[in-house]
Amino acid sequence: MQLRRTFLILVPYLWMLLFFLVPFFIVMKISLSQVALAIPPYTPTLDITQGWDGLVKFFSQLSFSNFQFLTTDDLYWRAYVSSLEIATVATAITLLVGYPIAYGMASAPDEWRPTLMMLVILPFWTSFLIRIYAWMGILGREGFVNSTLEWLGIIHEPLTILNTNWAVFIGIVYGYLPFMILPIYAALDKLDVSLTESAQDLGCTQIKAFWLITVPLSRPGVVAGCFLVFIPALGEYVIPSLLGGSGTLMIGKVLWEEFSSNRDWPVASAVAVVLLLILVVPIILFQRNQQRQQEAEQ
Amino acid sequence: MANPAKKTVFAPWDDTNEKPLITFEGVTKKFGSFVAIDDLNLQIYTREFFALLGPSGCGKTTLMRMLAGFETPTQGRITLAGQDIGPVPPNKRPVNMMFQSYALFPHLTVWDNIAFGLRRSDMPRDQIPARVEEMLRLTRMEKFAQRKPHQISGGQRQRVALARSLAKAPKLLLLDEPLGALDKKLRHDTQFELMDIQEKTGTTFVIVTHDQEEAMTVASRVAVMNQGKVVQVSTPDRIYETPATAYVADFIGEVNLVEGVASPNPAGGYAIAWAEGQAPIVSACDKSIAQGARVSFAIRPEKVRITPDRPEGAQNAMQGKVHDIAYLGNISTYHVLLPTGQIIKAQTANSRRVENREFTWEDDVWLSFTDTAGVVLTE
Ligand SMILES: Nc1ncnc2c1ncn2[C@@H]1O[C@H](COP(=O)(O)OP(=O)(O)O)[C@@H](O)[C@H]1O
Ligand SMILES: [Mg+2]
């Protein structure tokens, strides 16, 4: 019995160790190394055959110089700030779009719900990359949006949407909408209709009852949805590189360029470590929210 | 004490000058093609404690929801104090409802739950705390004012829900199975508390229940419903003593129903032929029933005497065998098998200890009752 429980707890921890902590320490180590024209393209590499001396030499060569470098070039901190801005605005738009959809789903007749749920999840069945590519076709100068607007006579010159921050927002909202809808739907679905009815019975209009009862009681779902969108959006690479323009500065893109174009693995790793540190704050807040919600349900 | 004021009977329904607070005039409610409420007429008077009694699914909640404004009648109209409330939305009605699930707001404290309705009313801000305190005192929840609903027991939640719905001093309070979630003992105590609160506040209460005992305990009048129709509206004692139909007789308490054919007696009342070779049942019923009509004779078990020998001068007597005995502590119900195959229940108080009881299984016994003990029902 005791053994089984230990085993059950051990499995997720081993998983964490293997697929999160080990890779993290590898990246951490690279971020403390120096660029080198070699394979792999950095030094030092640990050579255990040299024993204790090798270990001492190895650690003496590690330094925080890459992190210092990040502070000297303002490209990096501007990219972090810009990523935070884009992720925040995109999360807000996703919430504004997602809440009404979740609300509509939760108030739909029971027999419709599986279908609506299906429609929300359906995009996951095709590759994220392909779906973002499709948006290039939709938003381009000769794309679907421009040709429709021109045909309707609303515009005469094609609008430049692709390769701007607007396209990035559209991409993030589109790509992460299900992560916003599902937790909000789950929270709204649990609400008893008699709660808003009794608010009306006590003198609220429908709108007031929505503000005073539905909104506060769906807050855990809203918070969960916002984190689920904000956290991946902050490090997003595919969307800004496919839909964004030269002016779109996001840390995921910077990281990729350091890594592939500049072949500077150590600086790229330092960028990644700082990104992770920035994300630790919202991740901890998210965990708190989940925990508090579970406690409230007990 | 020396000169007790003469108690006037509260019976506005018998007073032709009294105007009802609520009237249902030919109200029908359909969900799609399903008729939930069927051409219903009803009057409820101010300060009444009115109970809607009926089996699950007979339309009690629907009726309440129409009063609260969450459903609109498909046909007919409902008036409150003479005014048609059809077009009035729920938040504008002087009616409050205590929901079957209590529907307390989980994110608000007990205090804020009770204050919720007051804050939406035109009551001046500074008077709200006093009113909330008053409601807390009324329901004896003062100590729990700062708790959240999930931090109090089921019985306490029920009181908070009651306090919240009473806070705005509604003209009419609707209670949908308010005690359904409580255990039996607490239910009994709470029934008396409800009556007490109803009397103190002078509010008109409409309570929904499927528990006939509860309806009989608390209500000034009971409406027995079946499949969207009101079968009978009367005071608890009238409903019990003179049920209008066999359905009501059967629904309220225990009853023996004997089917037969009625023929008027020259001296008044009826003789009911109910089985070959058995003397007809004599009943002093003053309804007018056609000669040869098929009727049910209904008699409560406690009105049937059970004796070892044929009692002298009994108006109705029949012989049988004790088939079964249900011992309920204070009373016993004897199921007596008649030669005709019917079973008649007779109830007696257990004034002696069980071991010394007069009858036991398979004993030959006599059942007897007077001509006024039962009622003749044509439906
Ligand atoms: N919104 C609705 N849609 C369809 N049918 C309903 C609806 N509300 C109630 N009903 C039906 O109306 C009947 C009466 O319901 P209800 O008033 O809740 O009964 P009760 O409270 O007496 O148990 C039931 O058969 C129920 O299925
Ligand atoms: Mg009901």
Q: Is A60 within a domain?
A: no
Q: Is A104 within a domain?
A: yes
Q: Is A187 within a domain?
A: yes
Query: Residue A103: what residue type?
Result: Y
A255-265: pLDDT as tens digits: 999 998 888 99
pLDDT band at residue A39 under the 50/70/90 scheme? confident
Give the Cα-Cα-Cα angle A85, A89, A93 (nearest 5 degrees): 170
How far is residue A286 from each of residues A84, A221, A227, B38, measured CA to CA in Å? 17, 11, 6, 53
B56 Cα: distance to centroid of ligand 2 (angstroms): 7
Q: Identify which of B43, B46, B91, B98 has the alpha carbon closest to the alpha carbon of residue B70.
A: B91
The reply to whether B121 touches chain A by the CB within 8 Å rule is yes
Torsion, CA A43, CA A45, CA A49, CA A50, rounded to 10: 40
B130, pLDDT greater than 50: yes
Is B327 touching ligand 1 by the criterion CB < 6 Å? Answer: no
Is B57 touching ligand 1 by the criterion CB < 6 Å? Answer: yes
Please give the Cα distance from B200 to B47 (Å, whole number). Answer: 11
Task: Kindly list the protein residues that place their beta carbon closer than 5 angstroms to ligand 2, a single-atom ion.
Answer: B 61
Does the reported pTM lie above 0.95?
A: no
Average pLDDT over residues A163-171: 94
Best of B91, B101, B109 to disrupt the A interface (most A CBs within 10 Å) is B91
A279, pLDDT greater than 50: yes
pLDDT at B2: 46
Please give the Cα distance from A249 to B209 (Å, whole number). Answer: 66
Q: Is A64 within a domain?
A: no
Chain A CB contacts of B90 below 8 Å: 197, 200-201
pLDDT at B278: 86
The reply to whether B103 touches chain A by the CB within 8 Å rule is yes
Q: Is A37 within a domain?
A: no
Cβ–Cβ of B103/A192 closer than 8 Å? yes
User: Do residues B367 and B279 lie in contact, with contact meaning Cβ atoms separated by under 8 Å?
Assistant: no
Contacts of A160 (CB under 8 A, 6+ apart): A141
CATH number at residue A102: 1.10.3720.10
B157, pLDDT greater than 90: yes
Task: Tell me how many domains chain A contains.
Answer: 1
Cβ–Cβ of B91/A296 closer than 8 Å? no
- Secondary structure (DSSP) of A278-292: HHHHHHHHHHHHHHH
Please give the Cα distance from A66 to A63 (Å, whole number). Answer: 8
Cβ–Cβ of B168/A202 closer than 8 Å? yes
Q: Is A213 within a domain?
A: yes
What percent of chain B is predicted at pLDDT more than 90? 63
Q: What domains appear along chain B, each with residue ranges and CATH number?
A: 12-94+170-246 (3.40.50.300), 254-377 (2.40.50.140)
B299-328: pLDDT as tens digits: 999 999 999 888 888 889 999 999 999 988
* Domain that residue A91 falls in: 71-297
- Both tokens assigned to B206: 């409409």
B14 Cα: distance to centroid of ligand 2 (angstroms): 30
Cβ–Cβ of A194/B101 closer than 8 Å? yes
B60 Cα: distance to centroid of ligand 2 (angstroms): 6
B70 Cα: distance to centroid of ligand 1 (angstroms): 13
Chain A CB contacts of B168 below 8 Å: 202-203
Q: Of all atoms in ligand 1, which is nearest to the CA of residue B32?
A: 4
A239-251: pLDDT as tens digits: 999 999 888 899 9
Higher-pLDDT residue of A218 and A38 is A218
Segment 177-216 of chain A within 8 Å of chain B by CB: 192, 194-195, 197-205, 208, 213, 216
pLDDT at B352: 78
pLDDT band at residue A36 under the 50/70/90 scheme? confident
Q: Identify which of B142, B160, B165, B199 has the alpha carbon closest to the alpha carbon of residue B64.
A: B165
Is B70 touching ligand 1 by the criterion CB < 6 Å? Answer: no
Q: Which residues pair with B97 in a beta bridge?
A: B174
pLDDT at B46: 93
pLDDT at A297: 65
B192, pLDDT greater than 80: yes
pLDDT at A1: 62
Chain A CB contacts of B99 below 8 Å: 194, 197-198
Count of residues making up chain A: 298
ipTM of the assembly? Answer: 0.81
Q: Identify which of B197, B123, B114 has the alpha carbon closest to the alpha carbon of residue B152.
A: B114
Average pLDDT over residues A118-130: 92
Please give the Cα distance from B226 to B211 (Å, whole number). Answer: 14
- Based on DSSP, count helices (H) and strands (E) in chain A, helices before strands: 16, 2
- Both tokens assigned to A204: 């609220």
Whole-angstrom Cα Rg for chain A: 24
B16-67: pLDDT as tens digits: 888 999 999 999 999 999 999 999 999 999 999 999 999 999 999 999 999 9
Which of these ranges, B5-19, B56-70, B167-181, has the smallest mean pLDDT?
B5-19
Residue nearest to atom 5 of ligand 1 (CA): B31
Q: Is A236 within a domain?
A: yes
Facing B91 at nearest CB: one of A200, A216, A296: A200
Q: Which residue on chain B is closest to A195 by alpha carbon?
A: B103
Q: Which of the ligands is closest to the CA of residue B223?
A: 1
Average pLDDT over residues A84-88: 95
pLDDT band at residue B1 under the 50/70/90 scheme? very low
Q: Is A19 within a domain?
A: no
B138 Cα: distance to centroid of ligand 2 (angstroms): 27
pLDDT at B350: 84
Which of these ranges, A49-53, B33-37, B102-106, B192-196, has the smallest mean pLDDT?
A49-53
Report the SS3 class of residue B351.
coil
Is B356 touching ligand 1 by the criterion CB < 6 Å? Answer: no
